[in-house]
Every structure is written in C-alpha cells, then in structure tokens.
Structure 1
C-alpha cells in the first residue's frame, strides 16, 4: 500500500486525504493545534501535531511516524505568515530537509497562481515570472528551491482560486460595493479537481514539473459573482467595470496534454451546489 503524508490537513488537505484513502492509500497528516489533531483523528486520520515556527515543533517520535511515507504533500499556504514571509520560506525548507532525511521519495508543493502579476496576458507554466506581490515572490522562491533539489522528485502545482461545496469567494464578497476590475476574468478551480490532479501526480512518475490547476472557462468577475450571489441567495456585490481591466488568464491545460487529466468542473458556473447554469 502506498503511503502519503499531508502536512496541513485543512480545507484542501482533508478532502484530499479522504479521496486518497478511498482509493487505497495509507494517509497520514498534520495539524498545528492539538484540538485540530483530535478533530482529524475523529475522521480516522493518522494525525500528528506539527507546528512550523519555522523550526519543526513536534515530538521526535511523531515526526518519525509522519515522515515515514512514500510521498509528502505540502498544503500550507503563506497566509498565516503574512507578517513574516521569510519565516514561511524557512519553514518549508526545514520541513523538506527533514523529509529528505527520512527518505521521502516524492514531494508535491501546492503553490498558487498568485505568482503571476495582475496584468493582461495568457500565462502558462513556461513563462518567465516577475511577481508583483510579496506572497508571489515568496512562493516563487520556494518553487525554484524545490525544483533545484538533487536526488528527489518534486512537483509544484499552482492552484487557482479554490471553490468547494462549503467554500465560495462570493460569501466574502457579499454586499461589498464598487469592487474594482469587475471586467477581469476569474481563474478558479474546484477542490475535487485538485484532489484528482494530486492523485494523478502521486501515481505518475515525477518529471520535476510545474502544473497549473485552473478551470478552462473564465467568465468576468462581475458576471460570475453576481450570478452566484443570486443562486446562493446572498447580497450581491457591486463591481466597477472598465475596458482597461486586466485580462489575466491562467492556462491550466498542460496537465491535460501531458498526463491526460480532464477537468470535472471546466466551467466556474458548474462549481455550485445544485447549480443552474446561465445558458
């Protein structure tokens, strides 16, 4: 039985773990609070307390159990390190270096399409990147470091905006007024597609690659979020739309061409419980 450790059993890590376990994988994981560890154990996950400070704050025996696996998936976003992104970089490096000592054979790091600047263009995995945010620069630094490591298979997945049955950006936008760049396209991906793509990479020979996960359809923010608000019966946001709004489209078809991946949710309008498509 193949084993995988998911560092960060959060909003994405939990459905990923459930999906892999259903497919026969031995799934382990970590949480950064003891209450979180107990909640995951109630879901029958083999879970260990691990806090990155950036040193590894973990019981040595627990660390040995956590990192005794075939593969490691790192799902920790930089959000909790916003005030000290250098600590986030060092945290990931410390974790990976420790994993290598335990003989981890395959590492998958979940990055973000926020590495790309907010400007018009079609962005694929081969493009030269100059991030325009501190988080984008931080993620790119980690990506480059991981892919330069010798003697280990590393893959990087850049995720678009995440959507699932219990998570949608429309909720945080509800009632907001005059949101800028309403004419810009969305770059979104459903959590189920994320889990399926990660499984595909875990089971495929690593080619030390970068892949984007973004649904191929890109409606404008104004059209999409106002439609979603109506379907969810929440107060719609209002948008400021201009012809000059950046037309930033992240291309997510490389994984389809190279690994045969097929998006289950190719259109953001399908990413709703009991969806009603507007066409």
Structure 2
C-alpha cells in the first residue's frame, strides 16, 4: 500500500467498521496516533491485531436476545469516532433494520460527545438526469442520517461517491452503460478531507465527497488501458456536486479527475 503523509498526531481515533476504506484510513493515521477498530469478522481480528489496530469484534445487525452489545471500553479515550459500517444500503433500507443497527451502535458507543463522522453514500440521491447538491436531499429525508443525528447531533455526514484507487480500477470490472458519467472519489481524498474537518472542528456538517470531474466510464477505461478515445457529446447525466465541500473547506482534491486515479 502506498505510504501517505498525515498531518494528524497524538489523537485517539476509533474506526467502527474497518473494511476496505477503514483499513486505509487506519494505516495512514496509525504512525502518529492511537487507532482502535471494529470488525464483524472473527477472521479479521488477528490480521488487525497484528497491525496494531486494536480490534474489537461486534455486529450491529444482531437482534438476538442472547447477544449482548457492551459499551466499547475505549470510548472515553477517543477524540474522534469514524463510522464506516453500512447503517443502510440499497439491498437493505428497511426502517426497522436501520433503527436496530443504530440502537445497537448507540449501546456500543454510549453518550460519546466527541467529533464524529458518518460515511454514507451518494446513492441517497435519485436516478435523475441532473446535478445534485446537498440541498436536494436534506438529512431529514434520509432515515439513517436522520436517526443517527437525533442521537448524536454533532455527527458530520459524508456522502461518498464510488470508492476507487489501489486495486479498484474501473477497467477491471464488467461495466455497462459506458457513456454514463461517473461520480467517483479516490480513497486518499477521504482521510485528507476528514483531517481538514478535524482541524476546523467541524460540527454537524453535510458534504458530498466526489471528485469534481465527471468523465464517462468509456473515457476512464480507455485511459487505464492506454487506448485511444475520441470524446463525443454526452448528456448531463446524474452528477453529484462537491462544490459545497470545496468552498467551505477550501479543499483541493488530491485526485480531481477519475481518469487518472490509477497513476
């Protein structure tokens, strides 16, 4: 994995749900900070422990009365808590299950009042041919965000575009609708944005986190495969704007164009 320089130091950070993105953030921050992680997989516990990421096994999906979720012992020492596990998804957005996961999560972290970040998805926006901003889908209209913020009003919500970088390259996938524009983000930009928000002491913010350029899938795959591609006229498509984040945080994306994520 590529080594990335971090500006954070001497903080205790909890990453709840240390999957593909979580492990990359943890590896970036662990040199100068104290990192604590969770996973739902027993198989991952030893791997995370061997990397000094202090893992805890917990599953917020459980509704079995015999499975008790205890308060995370490290919570009182945490400065920042980052939520990367899926509270809802396209496959499971039933309000009962969302409420169950949030209830279990709240038992786990208790009355944590430090800085908090929730990684959600731009899939909350409908499939319409227009450019969407955060005002098109307020927190109150998204069940997972609304219920979480009711318990933790300080939570910052980041709606992430399609996660790319490292082994995730569009040319490796069986892709349809090649002339559609993408709403992707390189994973390296996400911890950099979180760092900026930690420095700013950001509170209860809502941002779309998507690279500002929106090439078509065909363009990206052609560049990744080193093939010649002649640009053609394309429809506006479904675009997710990150202008609010760029303006308020004065942030310049490390990878602004998905065509060059593989460099």
**TM-score, normalised on structure 1?**
0.77
Deviations 1:149-170 (A, max 9, x none): 46x4111000001101122233
Residue 74 of structure 1 pairs with residue 83 of structure 2: yes
Counting matched residue pairs gives: 247
**What is the distance in 2 between the residues matched to 1:224 and 1:145?**
37
Report if aligned partners of 1:68, 1:104 keep a CA contact under 8 Å in 2: no
Select 1:41's aligned residue among 42, 49, 56. Answer: 49
Report if aligned partners of 1:73, 1:107 keep a CA contact under 8 Å in 2: yes
Identify the residue that residue 208 of structure 1 maps to in structure 2.
204
Identify the residue that residue 170 of structure 1 maps to in structure 2.
171
Alignment RMSD (CA, Å): 3.0
Residue 144 of structure 1 pairs with residue 146 of structure 2: yes
Identify the residue that residue 236 of structure 1 maps to in structure 2.
none
Query: Relative to 1, partners in 2 of residues 1:146 and 1:207: Cα closer, same or farther, differing over 3 Å?
Result: same
Say which SS state the counterpart of residue 6 (structure 1) adopts: strand
Identify the residue that residue 192 of structure 2 maps to in structure 1.
196
Report if aligned partners of 1:67, 1:104 keep a CA contact under 8 Å in 2: no
**What is the distance in 2 between the residues matched to 1:217 and 1:71?**
30
Paired residues for 1:1-279 under 5 Å: 1-22=10-31, 24-55=32-63, 60=70, 63-65=72-74, 68-77=77-86, 82=91, 85-86=94-95, 88-98=97-107, 101-128=110-137, 140-149=142-151, 152-173=153-174, 179-180=176-177, 182-228=178-224, 230-231=225-226, 247-272=237-262, 275=263
Query: Relative to 1, partners in 2 of residues 1:46 and 1:90: Cα closer, same or farther, differing over 3 Å?
Result: same
Say which SS state the counterpart of residue 56 (structure 2) adopts: strand
**What is the distance in 2 between the residues matched to 1:142 and 1:102?**
18
Query: Relative to 1, partners in 2 of residues 1:107 and 1:75: Cα closer, same or farther, differing over 3 Å?
Result: same
Question: Aligned-pair distance for 1:246?
Answer: 6.2
**What is the distance in 1 between the residues matched to 2:100 and 2:197?**
24
Query: Relative to 1, partners in 2 of residues 1:217 and 1:20: Cα closer, same or farther, differing over 3 Å?
Result: same
Question: Aligned-pair distance for 1:202?
Answer: 2.9
Gaps of 5+ in 1: 130-136, 234-240
Say which SS state the counterpart of residue 118 (structure 1) adopts: coil
Deviations 1:5-53 (A, max 9, x none): 101111000111122223x322100011222111111111111111122
